Structure 1
Amino acid sequence: MSELGAFLKSKRAAIAPESVGLPAVGNPRRVSGLRREEVAQLAAMSVDHYTRLEQGRVTTASDSVLNGIATALRLTDAERAYLHILAQPPVRSRSADPGGAGRPAVSTLLRDLLEAMKDVPVLVIDPRGDIVAWNDIAVALYLDFAEMPARERNMIRMLFLEPRVRGMHQNWDEVAAVSVARLRMSVGLMPGDRRMAEVVSELLDRDPDFRRWWGGHEVLATDTFRKSFDHPVAGRMLLDWQALTVAADPELTMIVFTAPPGSATADSLRMLGSWAAG
């Protein structure tokens, strides 16, 4: 089954029939959630068209059809955007690397900026989540990225498969679930990318938690989140991260970790910065 079909099937299965005015049992009702014909009725489209879309026999659809399906399935804004991405795949840019072998170059100005941000951990990642640059305090917060093989230096891979990173997250379940949902959106935006497929394949093969969340077809597009760390040097820290696009190179994203001014975590960050500088 195509990703589009699997996504639609998972979302209609999650809707209780009675929530849209349909009987929960009867006729008989052999499937959980909504039937295909019920989704088609709610979306004001033919059953045949919806069935062919879910089965992968139709790979594109108009905005009006997709909006009708999104409304029928009560999709969130992120899920609605993802549905459009799957049914209307984005055109890859010339700089996109379908083989995943190339990495965006990090400019000297961006590296100078990272060096100047001595009290704020910053990572620079590419569209696949591979870490391509960092500052000293980010090393102090996480680990020495330079010692890792480049293909293992990936944000979500480390979250699941690097014991030091996985163990330091006190709210690991929450962070991991959100990260998987963000990854699904990224995969949709980069159809055919081999490096992205490699990361997903390894995680599916090696981690049951990832398999469970990936099978749920949840999608998120959030650019902010709070992480609770238990750091071996700085102790308990509540850090907010933000994903900021680098204007000079939209393929790169800065992940910036901050703490509210005057908080205990802000004090811990300053201590961590001094420790990293020493």
Structure 2
Amino acid sequence: MTANDLGGFLRSRRERLTPEAAGIEPGLTRRRVPGLRREELAELAGVSVGYYTRLEQGISASASGAVLDALAAALRLDPAEHEHLRVLAAPSRPVRARSRRSRLRPSVRDLLAAIPGTAAVVLDHRADVLAWNALGHALLAGHVAIDAPDSAVRPNLARMLFLDPHHRALYRDWHAKAQVTVASLHQAVARHPGDTELERLIGGLAADSPEFAKLWARRPVRTCSFYVRDFDHPVVGPVTLANETVTLPDDDQRIGLFYARPGTADADALTLLARR
């Protein structure tokens, strides 16, 4: 899964880019591979075919900033993909065998309790639930025990999204949510090479969910902290909520906040859910 992340990412973006989009005349001969050929991309980026081939095959594990910028421009990468490419190619990317359990700071738990009108959940880089407030639990996982984050096996929202039919049914646009989740896991792998628990999670999802395996192979990358989520909740029915994600300083953890504009039907639905 992690032996050649840089090469796999480059190949996925090369195969995605059509000659027309890259400004290359397609020619009259039939193309045997999707997207650009290696020699075409190398020429666009101003590097030798041999050097680019070594990058893609994992023989060379790093590249200079100038080469990465040239490849990003040639591949038409967006800012999030460009940054992901830099992370994957970092020569000093530390291997941290982080199989240890993530810890939640008490102050963050206090913060969740202080915002009862907003559904809130704290996740680590593996999408393990470290904590949620009562409304966050009721919104996202009312069918599991509220103290489940304190148990030996924490709920994992990525696993629930693909394998738990109750959680999956919450999202009206499940496919969009799935793409964001897989993208987040790809970025987590880049930041935490050697995390055996993360590797086990991804391997299990790929084995148990063909949908996850297919999305994972596409290597989606995106960075966005704000979404509008459409839910079909078993208690309050259809509800549309803003979803803001806040990254915690000094921790690879984030708080997901779900809220509605005051005075709207969606806000009334959240109030009803909080009461029940």
With structure 2 as the length reference, what TM-score do the two structures score?
0.91
> Which residue of structure 2 lines up, in the alignment, with residue 178 of structure 1?
180
> Which residue of structure 1 lines up, in the alignment, with residue 257 of structure 2?
256
Q: Give the aligned length.
A: 270
Which residues of structure 1 form unaligned runs of 5+? none
- Counterpart code for 1:140: A
> Which residue of structure 2 lines up, in the alignment, with residue 102 of structure 1?
101
Report Cα offsets for 1:118-171 as digits up to 9, x if no partner: 111111111221111111111211223424764351121111111110112111
Asked if structure 2 preserves the Cα contact closer than 8 Å seen for 1:152 and 1:158, the reply is no
Which residues of structure 2 form unaligned runs of 5+? none
State the secondary structure of the residue aligned to 1:168. Answer: coil
Asked if structure 1 preserves the Cα contact closer than 8 Å seen for 2:241 and 2:259, the reply is yes
- The 1:21/1:111 distance shift into structure 2, 3 A limit, reads closer
Structure 1 residue 35 corresponds to structure 2 residue 37:
yes
Structure 1 residue 126 corresponds to structure 2 residue 124:
yes
Q: 1:257: how far off?
A: 0.7
Q: 1:9: how far off?
A: 1.1
Report Cα offsets for 1:160-200 as digits up to 9, x if no partner: 11111011211111111121112211211111111111111
> Which residue of structure 1 lines up, in the alignment, with residue 159 of structure 2?
157
With structure 1 as the length reference, what TM-score do the two structures score?
0.90
CA distance in 1, matches of 2:171, 2:90: 37
Question: What is the 5 A alignment of 1:82-97?
Answer: 82-88=84-90, 91-92=93-94
> Which residue of structure 2 lines up, in the alignment, with residue 7 of structure 1?
9
> Which residue of structure 1 lines up, in the alignment, with residue 206 of structure 2?
204
Percent sequence identity over aligned pairs = 37
State the secondary structure of the residue aligned to 1:227. Answer: strand
Asked if structure 2 preserves the Cα contact closer than 8 Å seen for 1:185 and 1:221, the reply is no
CA distance in 1, matches of 2:124, 2:180: 18
- The 1:150/1:125 distance shift into structure 2, 3 A limit, reads farther
Root mean square deviation, CA, Å: 1.9
CA distance in 1, matches of 2:98, 2:251: 19
- Counterpart code for 2:221: V
Given the alignment, which residue of 181, 187, 190 partners 1:188? 190
> Which residue of structure 2 lines up, in the alignment, with residue 273 of structure 1?
274
- The 1:212/1:89 distance shift into structure 2, 3 A limit, reads farther
> Which residue of structure 2 lines up, in the alignment, with residue 230 of structure 1?
232
Q: 1:229: how far off?
A: 1.0
Q: 1:261: how far off?
A: 2.5
CA distance in 2, matches of 1:198, 1:226: 30
